[in-house]
Structure formats: C-alpha cells, structure tokens
Structure 1
Amino acid sequence: METIDRGSAGSARVAIVGGIHGDEPAGERIVRRLADALDAPEDGAGDGIVRLIVANEPALAAETRYTDTDLNRAFPGDADSDEYERALAPRLAAELEGMDAVLALHTSHSAPPPFAIYSDLTPSVRRSVTAMPVDYVVDAGGLRGTTLDSTVPNTVSIEVGRQGSETAVEFGYEACLAFLRAHGAVDDEPPTFSETTVVAGDKEVPKGSGEPTVHFANFEEIPVGAVFAEDDVYTHRVEEEGVVPILASEEGYEEIFGIYGRVMGTLEPPASADQTAAGGERVDEAETE
C-alpha cells in the first residue's frame, strides 16, 4: 500500500483510494494523476489534508483482482491473517481513520452509466454523491457488510466506467475533482450539486456454468415475466414489478450475474451547499427524499 498526502484548500480531511482490485488499474492512474496535480502538504491553503492511496500493489503488479482474497470482501480484516488482502484491510482502514469523506474508485465489466455506492447515508456521503456527475447511487446497506464503504465511515464507492477503458480514467478523474470541490479540498471552481436517483440493492443473482447471457442493462427496469439472465444452470425470470439490475455482466464476476435493485426515490443535495463535511453540516434525517 502506498499513501500520498497532499495539501487542501480547506479544513476537511478527505481521502481517495484506488487499486483496491489489481485488475482495475484506472484507480491507480487517477490517484497518481491527482498526486501530480495537487499541492504538496506544506503548500495547501487550509489545514485539511487530501490523502491518496494505492491500495493493493501486489495485485496491481500481477494484473489480477487479488492475490489471496478479494480486498473489498475482506473488511474489517485480520492483521494476523496469512491472506494478504485480509491482513491489508485493517491497515487500509487505519489510514482512513478520522477522515471526513472517503472516495473508493472502481471499474467493472458492466455497461455504463457510472454510478456511486454507499452503505450508510451520512451528511458527508450525501454531499459526496450529489456533487459527483452520476445519475444513480446504489444503497448497499442491505447487502454485504465486508466492503470498504460498509465498514469505514463516510465512504462512497464509485464505478467510473468499463474496465480497461480510457473513458473510465477521464470520468474518474473529473469525479474526483468534483468530490474534492464538494468538501472544500480544491477551490478552482465552486462545487455543483444535483439530485441523484437512489436504487436499493436487494439481492445478488447467482451464476452457474455454461454460456452466460444477460438481457438487460444496468438500471433498466425488467418487465414482469422477462428473463434477466441465464446459463446452463439458472434461468432468472423476474416475477415482481420495479426490479432493475445493478452491475449486470456476463463475465464480470465468477459467481453472480449482478444484483437486483429497486428504485427508491431521489437523494437531494445538502441543505447548505456552502458547508463542507468538516464544517458540521447538519442533516436531521439521513434518508432519501
């Protein structure tokens, strides 16, 4: 793990994490581009910090998702584990302790559009999500509890695009700048906020063996009776209204076709666009509106 600290224009302590998965090099590229663009810690106008982290260096070097186990399924981890990623998880969490806002970068084999993910809707998370150029955010609070965003407070994950694409790198870099503006860490221009559609993650859709086929794209409502995905083992026919796929992919995951979700409403921007997470913005109810 490599940690690079940079100066901040404000008082918030924020972090951006790339390279959680070694087959997603866009995150590392974005982090290093930010490291080149941002001021050194001693040159920052404020007393906050921007912490940039390249998480899983051995997996990145090997160009594989992980070396022993999936880092984003290994939190909170075990410092004494013989599995590299399980031992890395608490070290990474320690680097993020006390941060006012955290952004974790990911890419996937799934089709666009890019989207954000959170597990706990804090005021900081609301600010991060509604500042970034995404139309959808997934509430993953009802899914796994072993991911970075489910264990480290104020964390948002973002799927910036298709794995291996230059588009993902460019979009991810701009999303990071929007995130930093939202929390006052850069002041090149004012942050902008907009409402975001919230999709609640419901359950994972298992994959078997044989030739996989997915019939619907991310966030496209699946009609009742239609088959979302199939292979030699499973035929997943939707039996309820309002179901949309998340991370829909034929080849992205070994064990699942993606996740079923439901549109729950919209996430509104923060009540005060002038305050950062470190400024103590109050939100009485952390819920969609």
Structure 2
Amino acid sequence: MRVAQLGTGEPEIAVVAGIHGDEPCGVRAVERLLDDRPSVNRPIKLIVVNEAALERRIRFVDEDLNRAFPGDPAATTHEGKLAHDLVSELEGCLAFSMHSTQSHAEPFAIVNGVTETARDIVPQLPVTAMVETSNFAEGRLFSAIDTIEVECGLQGSETAAENADRLTRAFLTAVDALPGDTVRRDLPVYRLTDVIRKDQADTYEVFVDNFTEVEPGAPFAAADGEKQIAEESFYPVLMSSNGYQDVFGYSAEKIDVLETQAVAD
C-alpha cells in the first residue's frame, strides 16, 4: 500500500485507488495529482491500495478486497490483512474510492446510505446516478469507513482514467480541498433490492440497459439461450454478461431525484 499526502496537517479527506488490481483508472488519477502538486486548502491523503494485485494486473491476490473489510491483522490472506491496514490508515477520514466496471460506460456513485454528506457531495460530481447499496454493503470499504465510491467507466479504458481524474478533482473541490466551484446536477437515486444470479453456462447475454426500467414480462438476460423474464419491474444496475462470475448484476428501485435548488433572483 502506497500512501502520500498533499498539504500539511492531519488529513480528514482521502482519495483511494487500486482496491482492485484490474482497475487502474484511479491510480492514474492519484499519480496525476502527485505530478501536478496543486495548491490545496486542506490536507489530502492519497492511497494506492492493492499494489501486489496491480503489479500482476489481476483483481485480487487471495480474495476480493472490497468484500474483506474491516479486515484482520491476523488474517491468512493478503487482502484480509490489507483491509485492516487500510481501515487504520483511513481512520477519521471521508474517503473517495475509485472503481471501474465492465457494465456501464457513464460514471455513477455508490453509497452505503443516502446521508446528508452524500446528498451534499454526490450531486456536485460528474455522475449520472447515485446508488444506495446498504442491503449489500457487507465487507465493502464503506461498511467500515465513511466512503463515497464512484464507478469511473469501462474497465481498462482511457475514458475511465480521464473520468477518474475529473471525478477526483470535483470531489476535492466539493469538500473545499481544492479551490474553485462545482456544478450541481439533478440526480436520480436508486436502491439495490436483489442480486440477479446466473446459472453455470458457456454463453451469457444481457438484453437491457443499466438504469433503464425493465417492465414485467420482459426478457432481460439469458444463459446458454435460456431467457430470464422479469416478474416485476426493476432497474438493472451493474448488469453485464461477464462482469461477475455468478451474477448478472443487481435489481434496483428508483427512490428519489435530488433536484438542484433554484437560485432566487
């Protein structure tokens, strides 16, 4: 784990990259900040986490780090120990954690709960949606540390790396660590409701778009040509044919739209 800092003092803000070794976009954003060394209004901690997995370009060494929190210093796995070390390093910080996906090109945010912090910060980020995942938070970083996660784009793409840089700087501006202004957006909010599992098969297909409502009776995915049909309406999130080994993604409900407040004349 590599830890660096911009500014002096004890940081209350942290930028986290490289939770997964096959998602280098956030690492690029951190390295660019370290190269640029911008003037900051408050100190920022910068962390590249799973260096062993990043070097091997694999998701993890022993287990998924983002399912291993809060970790254990006596863990027998690389990620189990690393999770404990990261939680210790992030104590007292609001963390901004960057990821990428095989399912959706446009950036979106993931939070453990729609807190006042999330309501304030996330609409200032260049994201298309906020996803609340408290029902499925076990083992993830935000189950142990106050965290805003972002999916920056398609895994391994140059666009995801560019998005990671834009998202990081928007976050740091929103928390007054970087000077400047942000743009607030109307933002739909979704809550994950269930896992959409997939059977063992040779081929998988997905027929729907993420964040687009699926009507009852519509086919949304297939394993070896065997279609899965929606029993009730839902919004697919992180749906892809090969993103996860045993699930297509998640179903969600739309619970809110955070609207930009009009400025009075």
TM range (shorter): over 0.9
- Give the match for residue 3 of structure 2: 3
- The code of the aligned residue for 1:5 comes to Q
Q: Is the Cα–Cα contact under 8 Å of residues 137 and 199 in structure 1 kept in the other structure? A: yes
1:204 aligns with 2:203: no
1:110 aligns with 2:99: no
- Give the match for residue 283 of structure 1: none
- Give the match for residue 228 of structure 1: 220
Q: Per the alignment, in what secondary structure is the counterpart of residue 81 of structure 1?
A: coil
- The code of the aligned residue for 1:78 comes to D
For residues 119-268 of structure 1, what are the structure 2 equivalents within 5 Å?
119-153=112-146, 155-187=147-179, 189-210=180-201, 211-232=203-224, 235-241=227-233, 243-268=234-259
Identity %: 37
Query: Measured at CA, do residues 234 and 49 of structure 1 come closer, stay the same or move farther in structure 2, by a change above 3 Å?
Result: farther
Return the TM-score normalized by structure 2: 0.92
User: Aligned-pair RMSD on alpha carbons?
Assistant: 2.2
Query: Measured at CA, do residues 269 and 185 of structure 1 come closer, stay the same or move farther in structure 2, by a change above 3 Å?
Result: farther
Q: Is the Cα–Cα contact under 8 Å of residues 200 and 246 in structure 2 kept in the other structure? A: no
> In structure 2, how many angstroms separate the alpha carbons of the residues matched to 1:90 and 1:182?
28
What is the Cα deviation at residue 3 of structure 1? 0.6
What is the Cα deviation at residue 63 of structure 1? 0.5
Q: Per the alignment, in what secondary structure is the counterpart of residue 224 of structure 1?
A: coil
> In structure 2, how many angstroms separate the alpha carbons of the residues matched to 1:38 and 1:230?
48
> In structure 1, how many angstroms separate the alpha carbons of the residues matched to 2:260 and 2:32?
28
Unaligned runs of 5+ in 1: 272-289
Q: Per the alignment, in what secondary structure is the counterpart of residue 242 of structure 2?
A: coil
Unaligned runs of 5+ in 2: none
What is the Cα deviation at residue 203 of structure 1? 1.0
> In structure 2, how many angstroms separate the alpha carbons of the residues matched to 1:146 and 1:234?
32
- The code of the aligned residue for 1:238 comes to A
Superimposed CA distance per residue, residues 90-146 of structure 1 (whole angstroms, 9 cap, x where no aligned partner): 1101111111x3110000111222110000233322222111011201000111321
Superimposed CA distance per residue, residues 235-277 of structure 1 (whole angstroms, 9 cap, x where no aligned partner): 4311112x01101111111111010011111135699xxxxxx
- The code of the aligned residue for 2:2 comes to E
Query: Measured at CA, do residues 69 and 170 of structure 1 come closer, stay the same or move farther in structure 2, by a change above 3 Å?
Result: same
Q: Per the alignment, in what secondary structure is the counterpart of residue 142 of structure 1?
A: helix
Q: Is the Cα–Cα contact under 8 Å of residues 209 and 233 in structure 1 kept in the other structure? A: no
> In structure 1, how many angstroms separate the alpha carbons of the residues matched to 2:62 and 2:168?
29
Q: Is the Cα–Cα contact under 8 Å of residues 216 and 222 in structure 1 kept in the other structure? A: yes
- The code of the aligned residue for 1:140 comes to T
Q: Per the alignment, in what secondary structure is the counterpart of residue 131 of structure 2?
A: strand
- Give the match for residue 19 of structure 1: 18
> In structure 2, how many angstroms separate the alpha carbons of the residues matched to 1:180 and 1:91?
23
> In structure 2, how many angstroms separate the alpha carbons of the residues matched to 1:199 and 1:122?
14
Q: Is the Cα–Cα contact under 8 Å of residues 199 and 265 in structure 1 kept in the other structure? A: yes
- Give the match for residue 286 of structure 1: none
Q: Is the Cα–Cα contact under 8 Å of residues 221 and 227 in structure 2 kept in the other structure? A: yes
- Give the match for residue 279 of structure 1: none
- The code of the aligned residue for 1:2 comes to R
Aligned residues: 262
Q: Is the Cα–Cα contact under 8 Å of residues 126 and 270 in structure 1 kept in the other structure? A: no
What is the Cα deviation at residue 234 of structure 1? 6.3
Query: Measured at CA, do residues 269 and 181 of structure 1 come closer, stay the same or move farther in structure 2, by a change above 3 Å?
Result: farther
Q: Per the alignment, in what secondary structure is the counterpart of residue 66 of structure 1?
A: coil
